[in-house]
Structure 1
Amino acid sequence: MRHTLPIAPQFYVTAPQPCPYLENRMERKLFTSLQGEGADQLNNSLSHQGFRRSQNVLYRPSCSDCSACMSARIDVSAFVKTRSQKRILKRNASLLRRATSPWATEDQYTLFRRYLDSRHSDGGMADMDVFEYAAMIEETPIRSRVIEYTEPQFSGLVAVSLTDVLEDGLSMVYSFYDPDQPQNSIGTYMILDHIAIALETGLPYVYLGYWVPGSSKMSYKEKFSGLEVYHQGAWKPMRDPAEFAESSHPLSTDPIAEQVANIHLPEQPVHRRR
């Protein structure tokens, strides 16, 4: 006898830990595994609902005290470069872009360590060794690319972005760059270049990770026109950051059961048993 069983993703919640963005807050994440033949469809569907990928896991903040962490993306059709952003493009015009399969290299890891030691020495990734770095880059069940930026004059690697290709955009999973060139604003340049790639390939969005009102670490995202945030179950244009201040209130978070019940899942593949 044959039975067809839907393979539905199971959702779990992490234990609370100190929030890296807002003081005196605790962070908690809702997550599910990303694997199997339906990985691409699940990644696309949950990315549209504010989830992010880390290796073979999809996660979304689900804190008990607030809902301030909101997924952010740029609508490339609404993006207009500022004078400052035009200057950044001009300063980095000599950089060469190279997109490859997700494969870790020693040069990447060397730059990654310099970046962490300079910018995030007390962060959650500060102790990552070369093997953990390789896993971050290479363990992907979906269509991903490593985009490298090099300076031909010095033949050196300047910046790297691990980027997922979604059905409606590019998702910048993790980016790092030479910390010794603050005058060149390379982090901003990479976002601007991803906007250019999206325009070239006809993709409407560039996903930037999370934006948090009141967090200085995330305020740079507010400088991009066309920014949207996933707020209360829908993507909303970012016109004034103050409009989302209420998200840090303890009553702004729905119970976990309601959050899971409101997640829209793609049609699942079936597993046939005999």
Structure 2
Amino acid sequence: MRHTLPIAPQFYVTAPQACPYLEARAERKLFTALQGEGAGRLNDALSKQGFRRSQNVLYRPSCADCSACMSARIRVADFVPSRTQRRVLRRNEDLKREATSPWATEDQYTLFRRYLDSRHADGGMADMDIFEFAAMIEETPVKTRVIEYTTTPEPGSRKRPLTAVCLTDVLDDGLSMVYSFYEPARIEDSLGTYIILDHVELARQVSLPYVYLGYWVPGSRKMGYKANFSALEIYKGGAWQPIGDPCAHSAETHPLSVDPIAEQVARISLPDTKPVRG
């Protein structure tokens, strides 16, 4: 009888490149491929250890002398919106949520282009064409949904205009917001905040304990808004902990702040690689 041994994930490190969050810093990522029938279990396990998904890759910052980037998540049961966030919810009462399969559409791409051209014209995704956009949405080996938000139709029209979109992974313990974009003309409505608030409500409805927000970076204006959400936890020092006072966390570099790659990989907890039989 022939036996097939399970293959453990292999981890790699990217070459240093300019950090998108902090000036004059170099970014480096630890990553592994996400594929096969165990992809969902691997995504669940590594998301709990500070990893994020991008298409069929899971990655985590592993910079040479900087550990500022910390994965962040909201404890759904303990979350209480602030007065400002309650106003955001009221301002966006016209929006209707619909969860769909991960399939890219022309309406999504048109909104995506308006969003990039207005908010991130010089960012790393600025040149993304419709085929690359479709790959970002559709190339997922795990349970993923596209959460669309539409608004009230214009007079004489029956079609609800697409106003915001979030690519969301469904983990065994929460919703992971992979990427979101929205109508830049509605800047006063704080749509980015609204999408997070609605994901907290959606997670509550389906009894999932966390909403994963990506990385929070002290000292980064681009990522600072995440600290405005109550019941926020960060993954720091190999464990999840309440963020506490955001000012207590430092973005300073230190030559010994990051362990060697081999030690980082050795501490990663991997899921059972045995196939799940129905």
Question: TM-score normalised to the size of structure 2?
Answer: 0.95
1:5 Cα deviation from its structure 2 partner = 1.4
CA distance in 2, matches of 1:225, 1:200: 19
Q: Could you list the per-position Cα deviations for residues 50-108 of structure 1 after superposition, in whole angstroms to 9, with x for gaps in the alignment?
A: 00000000000000020111110000111111110000000000101011000000000
Structure with greater strand share of residues: 1
Q: Could you list the per-position Cα deviations for residues 120-139 of structure 1 after superposition, in whole angstroms to 9, with x for gaps in the alignment?
A: 11111111000000000000
Q: Which stretch has the larger CA shift, 236-245 or 40-49?
A: 236-245
CA distance in 2, matches of 1:165, 1:249: 36
CA distance in 1, matches of 2:112, 2:42: 29
CA distance in 1, matches of 2:5, 2:148: 42
2:206 to 201, 204, 207: 201
Q: Would the alpha carbon gap of residues 72 and 205 (structure 1) be closer, same or farther in structure 2, given more than 3 Å must change?
A: same
1:247 Cα deviation from its structure 2 partner = 6.2
Q: Could you list the per-position Cα deviations for residues 166-202 of structure 1 after superposition, in whole angstroms to 9, with x for gaps in the alignment?
A: 0000000000001111110000000000000011110
CA distance in 2, matches of 1:17, 1:269: 37
Question: 1:37 touches 1:269 (CA, 8 Å); kept in 2?
Answer: no
Which residue of 1 is the match for residue 51 of structure 2? 51
Which residue of 1 is the match for residue 157 of structure 2? none
Question: 1:25 touches 1:65 (CA, 8 Å); kept in 2?
Answer: no
CA distance in 1, matches of 2:148, 2:206: 18
Question: 1:55 touches 1:136 (CA, 8 Å); kept in 2?
Answer: yes
Matches within 5 A, 1:215-234: 215-234=220-239
1:239 Cα deviation from its structure 2 partner = 1.0
1:152 Cα deviation from its structure 2 partner = 2.0
CA distance in 1, matches of 2:86, 2:64: 41
Matches within 5 A, 1:237-248: 237-245=242-250, 248=253
CA distance in 1, matches of 2:170, 2:254: 34
Question: 1:150 touches 1:158 (CA, 8 Å); kept in 2?
Answer: yes
CA distance in 1, matches of 2:7, 2:167: 28
CA distance in 1, matches of 2:65, 2:110: 38
RMSD of aligned residue pairs (Cα, Å): 1.1
CA distance in 2, matches of 1:14, 1:146: 28
CA distance in 1, matches of 2:55, 2:161: 27
Q: Does 1:214 align with 2:205?
A: no
CA distance in 1, matches of 2:259, 2:103: 39
Q: Which stretch has the larger CA shift, 152-161 or 15-24?
A: 152-161
CA distance in 2, matches of 1:263, 1:6: 17
Q: Give % identity.
A: 71
Which residue of 1 is the match for residue 63 of structure 2? 63
Which residue of 1 is the match for residue 265 of structure 2? 260
Task: Say how many residue pairs are matched.
Answer: 270
Which residue of 2 is the match for residue 158 of structure 1? 163
Which residue of 1 is the match for residue 106 of structure 2? 106
Which residue of 2 is the match for residue 179 of structure 1? 184
1:231 Cα deviation from its structure 2 partner = 0.3
CA distance in 1, matches of 2:153, 2:263: 55
2:138 maps to amino acid: E
> Any stretches of 5+ residues in structure 2 without a counterpart?
155-159
Name the SS for the 1:80 alignment partner.
coil
1:3 Cα deviation from its structure 2 partner = 3.5
1:204 maps to amino acid: P
Question: TM-score normalised to the size of structure 1?
Answer: 0.96
Question: 1:246 touches 1:252 (CA, 8 Å); kept in 2?
Answer: no
